[in-house]
A and B are shown apart, each in its own frame.
Chain A
Amino acid sequence: MQHWHRGPFWMRRRGGTGGPLRRNPDDRLLGGVASGVAAWRGFNPTAVRIVFVLIALATTGFGVAGYTAAWLLIPAAGADRSIASKARTDARGIALAFGLGTLLTLFLLVGGVFNDSWFASWAWPQVGTVAGLVLIWRNGSADERSAIRHYAEPLGAAVGETSRNRRSAIRLAIATVLILSGAVSLAKTHASLALLAPLGGVAAVVAGLVLFLGPWWLRIARDLGIERQARVRAEERADIAARIHDSVLQTLALIQRRADDPQKVVWLARMQERELRSWLFEGRGPNEADEDTTVAAGVRRIQQDVEARYGVPVEAVTVGDCALDENLSALLAAAREATVNAAKWSGASVISLFAEVEPEEVSVVVRDRGKGFDPESVPEDRKGLAESVHGRMTRRGGAATVTSAPGEGTKVSLRMPRAAGQPAGRT
């Protein structure tokens, strides 16, 4: 999108976007605010990021909250609304943000009693950050959610582990004992017992708030879990729905449109069946090609391609299997040509494709019950059979026989000796 000038990284890019300030989700570490600003004014995004970090350090953490606010308020490139404008209607999200905010405030109040050094001044702005992140999490795009998840997951995992643990009650009890004994020892060693007075007051306030708000926090936490499960389920369902839509529904629509053409309908149904089957039972997507490394896989590929391209069902049977070498690839190429020929010219309703791997040779028979032709009277310009089938086979020491008569269908038999020294591998 942008042209880079080679040179030191703080060099300006050529011009800015000139448009309104937009976050740039394509090039982002968090919310894409820095790269958005960079693109807007034409700076190097890395330079902007460094400046942001410096600002955050200088303002003792308010910069972080400011960044979150910018994330909320500046719309992403391509979106017409900011996350904040969406969040305004999200009552539960606002409640959740407020809940987490009060919880954090509480911790900071407690912490502030013991320690009012730089930590507190850093932590206070993060009340706003956390609340903002909650709103972004609930209202941002899936992309932005995954960005937050990416950074929040290690934290969540640590917390989740302890809460899942059956002995968490014991651990909590020990933690409480430790904290209490710590507080007692602090109180003892502190010269002035006056410290105990505000501590007692804070403890009372905390206990009261927990009594008041505890159930609410719990419910919010539970809701969050339920909501997350529901989201996972919905995403799974959407995934399956998309797959079914791309394949089955499209085919059904086609079938309805082609209802007057039974052959086409049969073909569509077969295609769909094969595709669905390979997705359900073999875990293969419709566009994931299997490696054509064996005779059986190659035959399956011929079957699929010819059915897809010419709409004629191919009944393929493979007996035995072995790895492909150059000769056998040539055999399959000839078999493909013969099958395509049958699909194009014979007018048969089904083509059978039979491959057998024997210890000494591999044979393929392509057969149809269609029009047939007189092999003597094939015009010169229809070289397909002669050149690509016959030539291909004889050049590599194989043989091709074509049996056909008008009205009798066509049978192309191909044989290719297997290279010596290969074991009669069967799968």
Chain B
Amino acid sequence: MNVPRVVLVDDHGLFRSGVRAELGRQVDVVGEAEDVQPAIDLIGSLLPDVVLLDVHLPGGGGQAVIQAVKADHPQVRFLALSASDSPEDVIAVIRAGARGYVTKTISTAELADAIHRVAAGDAVFSHRLAGFVLDAFAAAPTADDPKPTFDPELDQLTSREREVLRLIAQGYTYKEIARELYISVKTVESHVSSVLRKLQLSTRHQLTRWAAERRLT
């Protein structure tokens, strides 16, 4: 397996060195940045496979980095990291284009696994993010949702996708989900990628409203 080249963007030096030490040889950490503009320049010159990006950066947040890099280098993939778990921030960074989101309390093995997954083009949902997404897409539009949805394909999750998300929220790994639902890991991955696409492209206005309402959870 070829080792993904990774750039760390986080304003805490202690955290960066900790992650670098822990990840060891499982990934190739080629650079570090601690601020939005230096990060954009560094990523542009190094063109890593994966950027491990803190959601909360001084001077614009992780979102700003993704938006600036995406335009010129769409092949660079982002995995968002945060200590906050604030759904608003998480949804915002995913919608900006991150391929996944994990919390900073994640174990090293899981983090390395997540980086490999993102490098391979898959999506990574932490159990918390899966919960957020289920919540945001919850239930079919009802009477309290007067606006008709414009694209039913994008604005709703299939029941299979919902099932997969539920299992992720319950802490299942992709492999366990595949066994539980009698499908292949590839299929699980494609469901998750499809959810990610909907999350990024949906115009469903509940997404924003939901995130705003959940500001203080």
Decide if B127 touches A352 in the complex (CB within 8 Å): yes
Closest to A369 in B: B171
Contact with B along A315-339 (1 / 0, CB 8 A): 1011110000000000000000000
Residue B134 is within 8 A (CB to CB) of chain A in the complex: yes
Count B interface residues, CB 8 Å: 18
Q: List 12 A-B contacts (CB under 8 A).
A: A282-B216, A319-B131, A319-B134, A319-B135, A352-B127, A354-B127, A354-B131, A356-B134, A358-B139, A365-B166, A367-B172, A424-B142
Bound complex: CA A367 to CA B177 (Å): 13
The smallest beta-carbon distance between A25 and chain B, in angstroms, is: 42
Decide if A354 touches B105 in the complex (CB within 8 Å): no
The residue from A317, A318, A352, A424 contacting B139, defined by CB atoms under 8 A apart: A424
The residue from A320, A350, A356 contacting B171, defined by CB atoms under 8 A apart: A350
Interface residue ranges of B170-216 to A (CB < 8 Å): 170-172, 213, 216
Closest to B85 in A: A277
Decide if A315 touches B171 in the complex (CB within 8 Å): yes
Interface residue ranges of B105-142 to A (CB < 8 Å): 105, 127-128, 130-131, 134-135, 138-139, 142
Bound complex: CA A315 to CA B102 (Å): 13
Q: Note all chain B residues with C-beta closer than 8 A to A352.
A: 127, 169-171
Decide if A320 touches B127 in the complex (CB within 8 Å): no
Closest to B213 in A: A427
Q: Note all chain B residues with C-beta closer than 8 A to A359.
A: 139
Total A-B pairs, Cβ < 8 A: 46
The residue from B139, B166, B216, B217 contacting A354, defined by CB atoms under 8 A apart: B166
Residue A243 is within 8 A (CB to CB) of chain B in the complex: no
Q: Note all chain B residues with C-beta closer than 8 A to A367.
A: 170-172
Bound complex: CA A427 to CA B210 (Å): 8
Q: Note all chain B residues with C-beta closer than 8 A to A365.
A: 166, 170
Q: Other than the known A317-B127, A320-B138, what 19 A-B pairs have Cβ atoms closer than 8 Å?
A: A281-B216, A282-B216, A315-B127, A317-B128, A317-B130, A317-B131, A319-B169, A352-B169, A354-B127, A354-B131, A354-B170, A356-B134, A356-B166, A367-B170, A367-B171, A367-B172, A424-B139, A424-B142, A427-B213
The smallest beta-carbon distance between A350 and chain B, in angstroms, is: 7
Bound complex: CA A426 to CA B130 (Å): 17
Decide if B170 touches A270 in the complex (CB within 8 Å): no
Q: Note all chain A residues with C-beta closer than 8 A to B169.
A: 317, 319, 352, 354
Bound complex: CA A354 to CA B135 (Å): 12
Decide if A320 touches B135 in the complex (CB within 8 Å): yes
Q: Note all chain B residues with C-beta closer than 8 A to A282.
A: 216
Contact with B along A353-378 (1 / 0, CB 8 A): 01010110000010101000000000
* Best-surrounded residue of A296, A359, A369, A426 (most CB of chain B within 10 A): A426
Bound complex: CA A318 to CA B217 (Å): 11
Q: Is the interface of A mostly helix, strand, loop or mixed?
A: mixed
Decide if B138 touches A319 in the complex (CB within 8 Å): yes
Which B positions have Cβ atoms within 8 angstroms of A?
105, 127-128, 130-131, 134-135, 138-139, 142, 166, 169-172, 213, 216-217
Q: Note all chain A residues with C-beta closer than 8 A to B139.
A: 358-359, 424
The smallest beta-carbon distance between B89 and chain A, in angstroms, is: 12
Bound complex: CA A356 to CA B139 (Å): 11
Bound complex: CA A424 to CA B142 (Å): 10
Bound complex: CA A296 to CA B127 (Å): 16
Q: Note all chain A residues with C-beta closer than 8 A to B166.
A: 354, 356, 365
Bound complex: CA A317 to CA B165 (Å): 11
Bound complex: CA A281 to CA B89 (Å): 15
Bound complex: CA A44 to CA B198 (Å): 79
Q: Note all chain A residues with C-beta closer than 8 A to B138.
A: 319-320, 426
The smallest beta-carbon distance between B138 and chain A, in angstroms, is: 6
The 7 A-B pairs at the shortest CB distance, nearest first, are namely: A352-B171, A317-B131, A317-B169, A319-B134, A354-B170, A319-B135, A352-B170
Bound complex: CA A427 to CA B216 (Å): 11
Bound complex: CA A28 to CA B91 (Å): 58
Decide if A318 touches B131 in the complex (CB within 8 Å): yes
Bound complex: CA A319 to CA B127 (Å): 11
Closest to B210 in A: A426
Bound complex: CA A359 to CA B138 (Å): 10
Bound complex: CA A282 to CA B217 (Å): 9
Q: Note all chain B residues with C-beta closer than 8 A to A369.
A: 171
Q: Note all chain A residues with C-beta closer than 8 A to B172.
A: 367
Bound complex: CA A356 to CA B169 (Å): 10
Bound complex: CA A394 to CA B203 (Å): 42
Bound complex: CA A426 to CA B171 (Å): 24
Decide if B105 touches A270 in the complex (CB within 8 Å): yes
Q: Note all chain A residues with C-beta closer than 8 A to B170.
A: 317, 352, 354, 365, 367
* Best-surrounded residue of A352, A354, A427 (most CB of chain B within 10 A): A354
Closest to A358 in B: B139
Closest to B206 in A: A426
Bound complex: CA A350 to CA B173 (Å): 14
Closest to B83 in A: A273
Q: Note all chain A residues with C-beta closer than 8 A to B142.
A: 424
The smallest beta-carbon distance between B145 and chain A, in angstroms, is: 11
Closest to A269 in B: B105
Bound complex: CA A317 to CA B131 (Å): 6
The smallest beta-carbon distance between B103 and chain A, in angstroms, is: 10
Bound complex: CA A354 to CA B131 (Å): 9
